[in-house]
């Protein structure tokens, strides 16, 4: 699905030239070494809320650096959702890279100033920013510059592979499972083997990252259009404009509108003009708990450095508001009623939404939902299923306690006043 931010036929209308941004950020294009230097500078300025780590290397050996931002960097905190932004999958689509470098600077500066919104975001969310998924491609485009890089130079990996079509095709597996009436929750989510021989070094690194960190929400930043796309990107019968919604269509639509409506100058309309095989959005939705959209940020894949301040102004509020959506829905911990220990890999089911998520290592879970009326249950191997919890309106916290199976056990379930569901 696509929500257009719009592109104008007259290039002079693309950028609403206005007062220069007041944010004191490093607005320029950064090559690999300059990107590392800037990230190090941000960490040195805000060492208490930042952590730099790598998830792997590119084909030529360049590291894929991630900036983590959290009030307790370096570890997962019980109940705190994990968020990610990924940029630079296509190395010549450079605006996302620069926006994420600006975003990490901005969050650091505003946190030190005590901005309440930023402080709350940092304290309640573990944020991961991967500014360059394809550093090999970026270096090729950077050497030519914005005027000479062209439409394709640097788009692909060093091996000539398009990473946007390099993830396992779980859509076909899912649709086959539907036809065969197979239990899709065990076939796909966290269980389906990934054929590594078909993927680039960079793609394998990102897949491993997606599997190791319990991301809840993310976005993949591209360029070349002004549009937001969301699953399913691949249509079932390959018809370009076929409507192929996920069970979470209404929430994905909300995410697209959130980014588009807070972006300065966009127009929104629906138009599904392509079918994307083996994309990251669909893979993330079908293989992990993470909901993800793709944001095409600019009609120009490699805008001139002079345009970066205005692009930051256009996208700053969108980037922040989108991150805040990671807290929309319900969250809690699935625990053993007798021991109080968290139960990993419990399946969280919402009636009438045929897509389940799972609790993570400590038993915590996050289920993205729009406000409304829902019936939620949890099941785990070796445990009795929880009785359904009836939710109305916006109930953000729902802890679930369940008991091990016993042939002599009479099981009852209640909801306590503090949000505990037993």
Let me know if 296 is a catalytic residue.
yes
Contact at 8 Å (CB) between 329 and 366? yes
Which residue is it, tokens 């069970």?
247
259 and 317 fall within a common domain = yes
Q: Are 286 and 188 in contact (CB under 8 A)?
A: yes
pLDDT tops 90 at residue 170: no
Question: Residue 416 sits in a domain of what CATH number?
Answer: 2.60.40.1120
Nearest to 275 by CA among 385, 165, 178: 165
Question: Cβ neighbours of residue 24 under 8 Å, at least 6 residues apart?
Answer: 109
> How many Cβ atoms are within 10 Å of 358's Cβ, its own excluded?
19
Q: Residue 379: beta bridge partners? A: 347
Same domain, 84 and 108: yes
- Whether 336 and 318 share a structural domain: no
Residue that is last in its domain, among 292, 327, 362? 327
Percent of the residues in the chain that have a pLDDT greater than 70, as a whole number: 75
Domain count, the chain: 2
Residues 284 and 363 in one domain: no
CB of 200 closer than 8 Å to CB of 59: yes
List 68, 296, 313, 422, catalytic entry: 296
340, 357: one domain: yes
Report how far residue 412's alpha carbon sits from residue 386's, in angstroms, rounded to the nearest whole number.
9
Mark whether 293 and 405 lie in a shared domain.
Answer: no
Among candidate residues 296, 312, 327, the one where a domain is terminated: 327
Helices and strands (H and E) in the chain: how many: 10, 16
Which residues are CB-contacts of 396 (< 8 A; sequence separation ≥ 6)? 327, 329, 330, 331
Is 223 found in the same domain as 287?
yes
What the block records as the tokens of 269 is: 């309309």
Going by C-alpha positions, the residue among 248, 261, 397 that lies closest to residue 321 is 261
| pLDDT tens, residue by residue, 177-236 | 666 666 555 445 444 555 556 678 899 999 999 999 999 999 999 988 888 988 886 555
Structural domain including 361 reads 329-421
**Both tokens assigned to 334:** 């699935």
* Pair of tokens at residue 422: 């037993």
DSSP state of 386: P
Same domain, residue pair 171 and 281? yes
CA distances from 18 to 13, 60, 313 (A): 12, 41, 9
Residue where a domain terminates, one of 327, 345, 375:
327
The mean per-residue pLDDT over the stretch 2-24 comes to 51
Residues 118 and 217 in one domain: yes
- Average predicted confidence (pLDDT) for the chain: 82
pLDDT per position as a tens digit, 308-360: 999 999 999 999 999 999 999 999 999 998 888 999 999 999 999 999 999 99
Domain check: are 295 and 346 in the same one?
A: no
Bridge partners of 67, per DSSP, are 52, 129
Global pTM reads 0.86
Compute the Cα dihedral for 40, 42, 43, 44 and give only its sign.
positive
Q: Are 251 and 370 in contact (CB under 8 A)?
A: yes
CA distance 91 to 248: 31
């Amino acid at each position: 699905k696509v929500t257009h931010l719009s592109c104008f036929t007259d290039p002079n209308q693309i950028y609403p030239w206005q007062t220069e941004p007041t944010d004191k950020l490093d607005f320029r294009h950064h090559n690999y070494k300059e990107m590392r230097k800037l990230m190090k500078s941000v960490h040195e300025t805000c060492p208490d809320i930042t952590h730099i780590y790598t998830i792997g290397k590119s084909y030529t050996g360049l590291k894929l650096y991630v900036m983590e931002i959290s009030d307790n960097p370096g570890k997962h905190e019980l109940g705190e959702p994990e968020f990610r932004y990924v940029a630079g999958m296509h190395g010549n689509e450079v605006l996302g890279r620069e926006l994420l470098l600006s975003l990490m600077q901005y969050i650091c500066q505003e946190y030190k100033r005590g901005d309440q919104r930023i402080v709350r975001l940092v304290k309640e969310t573990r944020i991961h920013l991967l500014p360059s998924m394809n550093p090999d491609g970026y270096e090729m485009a950077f050497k030519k510059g914005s005027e000479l890089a062209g439409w394709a130079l640097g788009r692909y990996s060093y091996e000539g592979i398009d990473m946007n079509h390099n993830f396992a095709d779980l859509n076909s597996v899912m649709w086959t499972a539907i036809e065969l009436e197979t239990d899709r929750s065990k076939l796909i989510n966290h269980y389906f083997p990934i054929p590594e021989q078909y993927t680039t070094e960079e793609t394998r690194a990102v897949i491993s990252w997606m599997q190791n960190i319990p991301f809840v929400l993310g976005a993949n930043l591209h360029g070349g259009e002004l549009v937001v796309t969301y699953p399913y990107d691949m249509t079932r019968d390959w018809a370009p404009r076929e409507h192929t919604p996920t069970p979470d269509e209404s929430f994905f639509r909300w995410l697209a509108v959130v980014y588009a409506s807070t972006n300065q100058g966009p127009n929104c309309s629906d138009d599904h003009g392509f079918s994307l095989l083996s994309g990251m959005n669909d893979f993330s939705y079908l293989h992990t708990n993470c909901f993800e959209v793709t944001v095409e940020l600019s009609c120009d894949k490699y805008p001139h450095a002079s345009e970066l301040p205005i692009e930051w102004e256009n996208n700053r509020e969108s980037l922040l508001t989108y991150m805040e959506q990671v807290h929309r829905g319900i969250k809690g911990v699935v625990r053993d009623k007798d021991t109080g220990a968290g139960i990993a890999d419990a399946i969280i089911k919402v009636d009438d939404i045929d897509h389940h998520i799972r609790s993570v290592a400590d038993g915590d879970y996050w289920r993205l939902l729009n406000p409304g009326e829902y019936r939620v249950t949890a099941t785990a191997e070796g445990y009795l299923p929880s009785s359904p919890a009836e939710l109305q309106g916006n109930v953000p916290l729902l802890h679930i306690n369940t008991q091990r199976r016993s042939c002599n056990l009479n099981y009852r379930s209640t909801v306590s006043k503090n949000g505990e569901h037993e």
